[in-house]
Amino acid sequence: MSTLTRPAVHRRSNADRFRQGLASGKFTAVLILLPPALILFSLFVILPLADAAYYSAFSWNGYGTPTNFVGTQNYERLLDHSVFHTALWNTAKLILVSLVVQMPLALGLALLVYRKTPTNTLFRLVFFLPYILAEVAAGLIWSFVFDGDYGITAFMFQALGQESVYVLADRQWAFPAIMTVIVWKYFGFHMMIYIAALQSVPKDLIEAAKLEGAKPRQVALFVQIPLIKHAIVVSGFFAIIGSLQIFDIIIPMTNGGPSNSTHTIVTYLYTFGLSRLNIGFGSAAAVVLFVLAIGIALFYQRATAKEERP
């Protein structure tokens, strides 16, 4: 008897929840807000991705209707291209530098200036200004800084009586210079995330740790940082996805040179696909970039979810 009534009770409870949802207006809100979001997502994500996957199967210059079907040849050319290997490695280096250098730097500065004082407010503004600056403008400014004839670098070397160094024309130093600019440009964004999280940490916990004899470093390591773990996870996600999208800084600084040594996946896609009117090949690179982004995002989500489990 009891085994027959339990499913009915379960069904009635689900029906009650459905009626309660209708009464509270939740389903109405979903019906109103979900369709526009789905339409926008389809128009700006699903359809462009489907078009890129379709065009990647053709040798097409972007004019007219693609007719020269080549199957997987664009992907084969892509994976065999040494410059694409360089672009992959450069993108991996950007991710590594963002996680190992940029985020710790931002966290350290956030711990120094998170308190609400006039001096700290000024420092926050100074540190956040590079992020406000447009990427193209930042790239142009730093290309002048590193210029071996007229830039600040040239002036410094001349003041020391040394020959000027053309940093952005050197295969060994060009990409480290770009990574330096990227750290400078975006660490303020991550710093503000950490500041917002640190300001939400209960002051009672910090005071209790100090009363127990904890030093400022111990308070940061064992009280503050564990309590802002979620902010660090979000910051890491932004750092990874942002590294996969770097484009506007590299183009005005080096345009992928010298000798294609500073390309990332996006600048590679632009240079060897769009600018050379090889849309089919560029679409193949776009599909690979999308797959990499999804794969890395899923891996990161799974890795951070495991760490958050008790």
By mean pLDDT, which of 26-30, 216-220, 260-264 is the weakest? Answer: 26-30
Give the separation between CA 191 and CA 44, rounded to whole angstroms: 30
pLDDT of residue 23: 53
pLDDT of residue 133: 92
pLDDT greater than 60 at residue 309: no
pLDDT in tens, 197-250: 999 999 899 899 888 888 989 999 999 999 999 999 999 999 999 999 999 999
Residues 6+ apart with CB under 8 A from 125: none
Residues 6+ apart with CB under 8 A from 278: 61, 272
Summary mean pLDDT of the chain: 88
pLDDT greater than 90 at residue 190: yes
Q: What percentage of the chain reaches a pLDDT higher than 90?
A: 65
What does the chain come to in residues?
310
pLDDT of residue 197: 95
Quick one: pLDDT band at residue 264, thresholds 50, 70, 90? Answer: very high
288 or 157, greater pLDDT: 288
Give the separation between CA 288 and CA 77, rounded to whole angstroms: 13
Over residues 169-178, mean pLDDT: 94
Give the separation between CA 294 and CA 283, rounded to whole angstroms: 17
Quick one: pLDDT band at residue 21, thresholds 50, 70, 90? Answer: low
pLDDT greater than 70 at residue 118: yes
The structure's pTM equals 0.85
Q: What percentage of the chain reaches a pLDDT higher than 70?
A: 90
Over residues 114-126, mean pLDDT: 92
- DSSP 3-state helix, strand, coil percentages of the chain (rounded to 5)? 75, 0, 25
Residue type, 288: V
DSSP character at residue 117: -
DSSP symbols for 172-203:
TTHHHHHHHHHHHHHHHHHHHHHHHHHTTS-H
pLDDT of residue 5: 47
Over residues 149-156, mean pLDDT: 84
Residue 234's closest CA among 187, 190, 184, 201?
190
Bridge partners for 58 per DSSP: 69
pLDDT in tens, 48-99: 889 999 999 999 988 888 889 999 999 999 999 999 999 999 999 999 999 9
Residues 6+ apart with CB under 8 A from 177: 142, 146, 167, 168, 253
Element (H, E) at 5: helix 2-24
Residues 6+ apart with CB under 8 A from 104: none
Give the separation between CA 183 and CA 45, rounded to whole angstroms: 29
Over residues 273-288, mean pLDDT: 92
pLDDT of residue 4: 47
pLDDT greater than 70 at residue 1: no
By mean pLDDT, which of 91-95, 147-151, 193-197, 303-307 is the weakest? Answer: 303-307
pLDDT of residue 305: 79
Quick one: pLDDT band at residue 134, thresholds 50, 70, 90? Answer: very high
Over residues 248-259, mean pLDDT: 93
Residues 6+ apart with CB under 8 A from 42: none
pLDDT of residue 17: 61
